[in-house]
Chains A and B, each alone.
Chain A
Amino acid sequence: MVTYILQRLGLALLTILAISVVSFVIIQLPPGDFVDTYITNLAASGSAVRAEEAAALRIQYGLDQPIWVQYWKWLSRVATGDFGMSMEWGRPVLEVIGDRLWLTIVISIAAILVTWGIALPIGIYSAVRQYSIPDYVFTLIGFVGLAVPNFLLALIIMYFGFKLFDLNIGGLFSAEYQLAPWSWGKIWDLTKHLPLPAVILALAGTAQLIRIMRANLLDELRRPYVTTARARGLPEWRVIMKYPVRAALNPFASTIGYLLPFVVSGSIVVSLVLSLPTVGPLLLRSLIAQDMFLAGTIVLLLGVLTVIGTFISDLILMWIDPRIRAGMHG
């Protein structure tokens, strides 16, 4: 088992290294180098940089050296937490990202929990009572939910929230906490603001998950071990919850890792509409502004978080699926 975990850990580190290469390439993509951009920026604001000053800057940042040396230097800086400067903001990248990364994680997890909380019970019900009227109703709602773009839903809810209840739904914080340092009051404020964006973000995935859960469970319900459980006198709901639902849930553990990038990239428009302080809109803006240190850093951080998520889902699968544990010995 230890071998397996170490193996997974090794693979995870390799993947992170590969992601760092991709991020570095992204940073290098725009024509010219960092100093060129810097000079252009300064020129735009009216001050000029002398040629020897530019050369000194190039040496300082190692831009006169071969690309792999630059990569290594960049990687070494990243390892110490120095992700470079954001062109657009003129501040260190990490400072710009700030709380956004953690807020993204919090809102993603909240959205995932809401998705599962709604989708799994409905999926189970739909499978167990296949072709009943509620099954058809849920299926209809599910497909409508699948078809309606999330941002539209967000706009509609905001509109009615404002019109009917005089609520301002956008953002994750009230105005007085927007810039305030973290405190219990701010956390409570976040908790109050979290449910609505979480539900809106969750709805797209919910429809899909209902269908997946229903299909998985329908497959499992026909298996002989279900009849065996029934034949020993187990009450029907315990038959279903203990055996086929258990088996149908298993595939979900392996999707935990992908959920984070899914929520981040899938929610950019919704985040813009709801003005959520997540990394999605920031990534979009940095790409438009060619703010490559910022964009590269966001890609790197998301990549690393995905690898960590996948590693965690591997561990969970190992914990819940005896067949995987058995495979590790063999």
Chain B
Amino acid sequence: MGEPILSVRDLETFFRPDEGIVRAVDGASFDLYPGRTLGIVGESGCGKSVTARSILRIVDHPGKVERGEALLRRGDGRIVDLVAIDAKSAEMRDIRGGEIGYVFQEPMSSLSSFHTIGNQVVEAIRLHRAVSAKEARDRAIELLQLVGIPRPEQRVDSYSFELSGGLRQRVMIALALAAEPRILIADEPTTALDVTTQAQILELIRKIQADRNLAVILITHDMGVIAEMADSVSVMYLGKVVESGPVDTIFHAPRHPYTQALLRSIPSVLAEPRSRLTTIAGSIPHPYARPPGCPFHPRCQNFMPGTCDRSAPPVTRLDPEHEVRCFLYEAPAEAVA
């Protein structure tokens, strides 16, 4: 796989509204490789999107990246720590869109309805490439063609509200790809779309990834999408990566009780008709009332009183690529202590 293009270590992003503190990302680590897809999966509110936004340093107020590092290998070979550079600096702006493209969840509201889609794509191109307005427009049309928009030379002058949801998400992808980034972050790219369109969009991302050797971070709550798209998976729960590993390992030999519960809750076509769908007991705790110890312990089937609610479990490396954050797999000597 070679060197990672992006290496995130112990990333922490906290929101500090007046009411208290929300540890939206609480020590996330992962590596991303060119041409590969990293899936980040978890329930709503587990910090997937904030993790991705922290990398681009576009977390909304009052959120702030507090600690950790995000090492990006830039196109010229330099390695920069995205956490250390100023979020408003020219270098950061150069990276946004230029090195890392971002596809958002809501294609309806993520485009301006006062500007044509061409205007927005051209803007994205000209921010990062020194081309004339005419060239940029031609490129925008090519991009729209690439993402599968019919009659792109007419569509370039349409407004987002004149397009269907699927077409809008294609425009979002074109926007993210406008300056030829080497990393694409797709944040729930198919959540707002129907199943058929969903499959087409995923297929499109896969095709573009293959053509451009893109590194992709795919954020979703849908294990089915992960199984179809990802090479490796990070499972997040309340801001922590609780288990990570290659996609086959995660699906066939999940270790963390949360991962196991997530997989059990996928509806199966082989299931007994009219049987109940398995759900994960309880619900995500309120962000201000985070359980002590392992944040998952109130919902965990393997809860060990006196251990899980006392201290946070460390990361255990099961094999070079498979890590889990759970006391069940802790080295025996430490468990006694």
The interface of chain A, by Cβ under 8 A from chain B, is 222-225, 227-236, 242-243, 246-247, 250, 320-323, 326
The 7 A-B residue pairs whose C-beta atoms are closest, nearest first, are A232-B97, A233-B97, A233-B96, A231-B102, A233-B93, A232-B124, A224-B110
Complex: chain A residue closest to B125, CB-CB: A232
B118-129: CB near A (< 8 Å → 1, else 0) gives 001001100110
Q: Is B296 an interface residue (CB 8 A)?
A: no
Q: List 12 A-B contacts (CB under 8 A).
A: A225-B109, A225-B112, A227-B110, A228-B110, A228-B175, A231-B96, A231-B102, A232-B97, A233-B94, A233-B179, A322-B161, A323-B161
User: In the assembled complex, how far is the CB of residue B4 from the closest CB belonging to chain A, in whole angstroms?
Assistant: 22
Residues of B near A246 (CB, < 8 A) are 112, 114
User: In the assembled complex, how far is the CB of residue A30 from the closest CB belonging to chain B, in whole angstroms?
Assistant: 52
Contact among A222, A225, A233 with B127 in the assembled complex (CB-CB below 8 Å): A233
B104 near A227 (CB under 8 angstroms)?
Answer: yes
Given A224-B104, A228-B175, A326-B162, A233-B114 contact (CB < 8 Å): no
Residues of B near A250 (CB, < 8 A) are 114
> 12 additional contacts, CB 8 Å, given A224-B110, A230-B58?
A227-B60, A227-B110, A231-B58, A232-B96, A232-B124, A233-B94, A233-B95, A233-B179, A243-B112, A243-B115, A322-B113, A326-B159
Residues of B near A243 (CB, < 8 A) are 112, 114-115
Q: Is B42 an interface residue (CB 8 A)?
A: no
A228 near B104 (CB under 8 angstroms)?
Answer: yes
User: In the assembled complex, how far is the CB of residue A243 from the closest CB belonging to chain B, in whole angstroms?
Assistant: 5
A230 near B96 (CB under 8 angstroms)?
Answer: yes
A230 to B120 CA separation, bound complex (whole angstroms) = 12
Residues of A near B102 (CB, < 8 A) are 228, 231-232
B114 near A247 (CB under 8 angstroms)?
Answer: yes
A270 to B95 CA separation, bound complex (whole angstroms) = 56
A91 to B172 CA separation, bound complex (whole angstroms) = 68
Residues of B near A232 (CB, < 8 A) are 96-97, 101-102, 123-124, 127, 175-176, 178-179
Q: Is B88 an interface residue (CB 8 A)?
A: yes
Residues of B near A321 (CB, < 8 A) are 114
Residues of A near B172 (CB, < 8 A) are 228
B109 near A223 (CB under 8 angstroms)?
Answer: yes
A250 to B162 CA separation, bound complex (whole angstroms) = 19
Residues of B near A224 (CB, < 8 A) are 104-106, 109-110
Contact among A230, A242, A326 with B161 in the assembled complex (CB-CB below 8 Å): A326
A231 to B58 CA separation, bound complex (whole angstroms) = 7
Q: Which of B56, B88, B112, B179 gathers the greatest number of chain A CB atoms within 10 Å?
A: B112
A231 near B113 (CB under 8 angstroms)?
Answer: no
Q: Is B98 an interface residue (CB 8 A)?
A: yes
User: In the assembled complex, how far is the CB of residue B62 from the closest CB belonging to chain A, in whole angstroms?
Assistant: 10
Q: Is B111 an interface residue (CB 8 A)?
A: yes
A326 to B161 CA separation, bound complex (whole angstroms) = 9
Complex: chain A residue closest to B95, CB-CB: A233
In the complex, chain B residues 121-164 whose Cβ is within 8 Å of any chain A Cβ: 123-124, 127-128, 159, 161-162
A225 to B109 CA separation, bound complex (whole angstroms) = 6
